[in-house]
């Protein structure tokens, strides 16, 4: 029997330490529009190509043993884009979800959406609910998609929830601590990211996971999202493994 030979980068590259991989990677998928323009194509083609990059990164997380991936698909500010682009993105999310559900089941991926989902088109909300329900027992990769998401808005809605509970006497103001606060965030049952990757060069967090990113290592690459492949991810992980994570304490090297 001829076994399928795993090609380079299908398995964890040998220069990465399996025990020091991030457990949760977050990504700001920037540069789709610029990538498309550079190829002489309309901006929306960049988003379409971006889906392929995302699919491969998700599969790579599974292949290399990284259990959680969170991506920023649509921010609360993105509604300010031209109407055709917003409509294209909403339709794209819906189509991709419908098309990829079977594969997420086969790959044992659990998908979740975070953000103000009620403001999304109803048909997309239905597709989101279905994909979350169908994949809820899958365990290989926790895949979270931030859609109509804003970090400040998330913090405000957590404050509102807590304030309501204080009003009814369910929580004492003095009892509020980091754990109680985190329990009221969209991400209450998801770990905080260890590594944030931002493609296309900008050095900003752009209102993404503001609370959760407190101790994340930030890696910015000039590569635009549609061109972010396994080799680019490999480079990000090499960079991550060279960092010393101190969490506010004194480092070992000093
Ligand atoms: C930012 O690039 C990218 C987005 C606003 C959309 C990202 C969405 C995807 C890749 C699709 C994901 C699909 C699912 C189902 C999760 P940009 O347009 O801001 O690029 P620019 O900075 O070059 O203009």
- The pLDDT profile of the chain, 254 residues, written as one tens digit per residue, is 455 556 678 999 999 999 999 999 999 999 999 999 999 999 999 999 999 999 999 999 999 999 999 999 999 999 999 999 999 999 999 999 999 999 999 999 999 999 999 999 999 999 999 999 999 999 999 999 999 999 999 999 999 999 999 999 999 999 999 999 999 999 999 999 999 999 999 999 999 999 999 999 999 999 999 999 999 999 999 999 999 877 888 776 55
Q: Which residues fall within 8 angstroms of residue 24, CB to CB, at 6 or more apart?
A: 66, 67, 68, 69, 70, 142, 190, 191, 192, 193, 194, 195
Strand order in the sheet with 68-75: 109-114, 141-149, 68-75, 24-28, 195-198, 217-220
Query: So what's the pLDDT on residue 4?
Result: 59
Substitution candidate for ligand 1 out of 32, 112, 132, 229 with most atoms within 8 A of CB: 32
In this predicted structure, what is the pLDDT of residue 59? 96
Answer yes or no: is the C-beta of 206 below 6 A from any ligand 1 atom.
Answer: no
Phi-psi region of 169 (alpha: psi -120 to 50; beta: other; left: phi over 0): left
Of 144, 118, 115, nearest to 131 by C-alpha is: 144
Q: Residue 185 Cα, ligand 1 centroid: separation in angstroms?
A: 24
Q: Are 74 and 149 in contact (CB under 8 A)?
A: yes
Instruction: Please tell me what DSSP assigns to residue 95.
Output: H
Distance from C-alpha of 207 to C-alpha of 188, rounded to nearest angstrom: 18
Q: Tell me if 32 CB under 6 Å of ligand 1.
A: yes
Q: What is the pLDDT of residue 5?
A: 58
pTM of the entire predicted model: 0.94
> Does ligand 1 have an atom closer than 6 angstroms to the CB of 207?
no
What pLDDT, on a 0 to 100 scale, did the predictor assign at position 253?
A: 59
Q: Cα(73) to centroid of ligand 1, in Å? A: 6
Closest residue CA from atom 3 of ligand 1: 30
> How many residues are present in the chain?
254
Q: Do the Cβ atoms of 51 and 98 come closer than 8 Å?
A: no
Question: Atom 1 of ligand 1 has which residue's CA nearest to it?
Answer: 30
CA of 32 to the centre of ligand 1 (A): 6
**Catalytic positions, written as ranges:** 30, 78
Question: What does the pLDDT read at residue 250?
Answer: 78
CA of 50 to the centre of ligand 1 (A): 7
For the domain spanning 21-148+193-241, the CATH number is 3.40.1180.10
DSSP 185: S
Please tell me the predicted confidence (pLDDT) of residue 6: 63
pLDDT value for 9: 87
């Amino acid at each position: 029997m001829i076994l399928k030979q795993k090609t380079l980068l299908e398995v964890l590259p040998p220069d990465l330490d399996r025990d020091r991989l991030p457990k949760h990677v977050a990504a700001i998928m920037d540069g789709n529009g610029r990538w498309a323009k550079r190829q002489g194509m309309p901006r929306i083609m960049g988003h379409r190509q971006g889906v392929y990059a995302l699919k491969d990164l998700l599969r790579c997380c599974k292949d290399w043993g990284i259990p959680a991936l969170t991506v920023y698909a649509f921010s609360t500010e993105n509604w300010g884009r031209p109407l055709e682009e917003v409509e294209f993105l909403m339709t794209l999310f819906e189509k991709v979800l419908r098309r990829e559900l079977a594969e997420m089941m086969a790959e044992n991926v659990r998908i979740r959406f975070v953000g103000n989902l009620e403001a999304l088109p109803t048909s997309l909300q239905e597709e989101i609910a279905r994909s979350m329900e169908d994949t809820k027992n899958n365990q290989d990769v926790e895949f979270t998609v931030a859609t109509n998401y804003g970090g400040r808005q998330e913090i405000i809605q957590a404050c509102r929830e807590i304030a309501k509970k204080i009003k009814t006497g369910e929580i004492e103001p003095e009892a509020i601590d980091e754990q109680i606060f985190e329990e009221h965030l969209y991400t209450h049952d998801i770990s905080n990211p260890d590594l944030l990757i931002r493609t296309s060069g900008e050095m900003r967090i752009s209102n993404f996971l503001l609370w959760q990113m407190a101790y994340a290592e930030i890696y910015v690459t000039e590569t635009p999202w549609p061109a972010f492949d396994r080799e680019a991810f490999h480079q990000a992980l090499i960079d991550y493994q060279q960092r010393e994570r101190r969490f506010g304490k004194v480092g070992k090297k000093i």
